[in-house]
Structures are given as structure tokens and as C-alpha cells.
Amino acid sequence: MRGIRVLFVCTGNTCRSPMAAGLFRALVKESPALGNVRVDVDSAGLAAGVGSPAAVEAVEAMRSRGVDISGHEARAVGDDTPQYDLILTMTEEHKAQILLRYPECAANVFTLKEYARAEGSKNISDPFGLGDEAYQKALDEIERAVRGAVRRLAQDWS
């Protein structure tokens, strides 16, 4: 079975990237086109407090979509980053930082919205510290982009 490793990146790895990774995992499992592809999904942060749990608001927002990220622990972007086949960042600034640290990954790094071929801004809004409504709004953005990313992955890898 062919395999692909996907890494989602944000700042602290407590809200956007764990939400995106959780949704991506769930949607990949539902994709018939990816049935013969092993997809490993991780998330990390450029300034993560290693071991921190997912934000309570992120856990609750994801629970509303039937996805459990309550066991998530933040991890930092590290030396294993170049081993990923696809690196999806939450903002253009995150992408620039990854490319600065790992220029050899240039062909594999996209913002999530860029990879999903979404219109408009390539950034996912940061809900950190802004309350439940901001988390739901960010999750709506993430879900639209993740659905597009799964469709593109199915086209590219099936």
C-alpha cells in the first residue's frame, strides 16, 4: 500500500493545526479514492509549548463535528519536517517560516487554502483567546479548506 505523510502547521499547535489534522484524518477515512493509500497525519507548531493540550474551545468545536482531539498534545516543528510528503500551513507567514528553516521542502509546502485551491486569502484566521464563536468560525474555514485538500489529495495520489 502506498503511503503519504501529511503535516499541518500553525503557531502553537493547540487549535488550528490539530483541528485541521483531526478533520483531515476523518475525511480521508471517508474518501473511497484514498482507500488504497495509507495517509499518516500529524500536526506541529512553530512556537509550540510542547505537551500543551488542545485549547478547550478547539476540543469543543471539533466535538460538534464528531471528531475527538481531546488527547492532543502540542509538538514543535522539528528535524523530521523534511520527511513529510505534504506540509500544509495555516498562514502564508507559517509557510515562509517553514521554507526559511527547510528550503529543501519547497515543493511540498503550501498553505492549507492554497493546496485546496481556495479563493481569496490564503490564511486561516487565528481564534486563540477569542472565544467559542471565533473557534467555530475558524473551524468552518478549516473544514472548507480540508475538504478541498482531501479532494486534491485524492486526485494527486489515487
Read off the pLDDT of residues 57-77 as tens digits, 9 standing for 90 and up: 999 998 998 999 999 999 999
What's the CA gap between 77 and 13, in Å, rounded?
9
| Mean pLDDT score of the chain | 91
What band does 51 get if pLDDT is binned at 50, 70 and 90?
confident
Quick: pLDDT tens for 92-119. Answer: 999 999 999 999 999 999 999 999 999 9
Residue 43 in 3-state DSSP?
A: strand
The pLDDT of 129-154, averaged and rounded, is 91
Closest CA to 124 of 19, 4, 47: 19
What are the b/e assignments for 40-79, b being 16+ CB within 10 Å? ebbbbbbebeeeebbbebbbebbeebebebeebebbebee
In whole angstroms, what is the distance from residue 12 CA to residue 147 CA?
A: 23
Which of the four CATH numbers 3.30.420.40, 3.30.300.130, 3.40.50.2300, 1.10.1040.10 does domain 2-157 have?
3.40.50.2300
pLDDT of 157 strictly over 80: no
Name the nearest CA neighbour of 12 among 43, 36, 45. 45
How many other CB atoms are found less than 10 A from the CB of residue 31?
15
Which active-site residues does the annotation give? 10, 16, 126
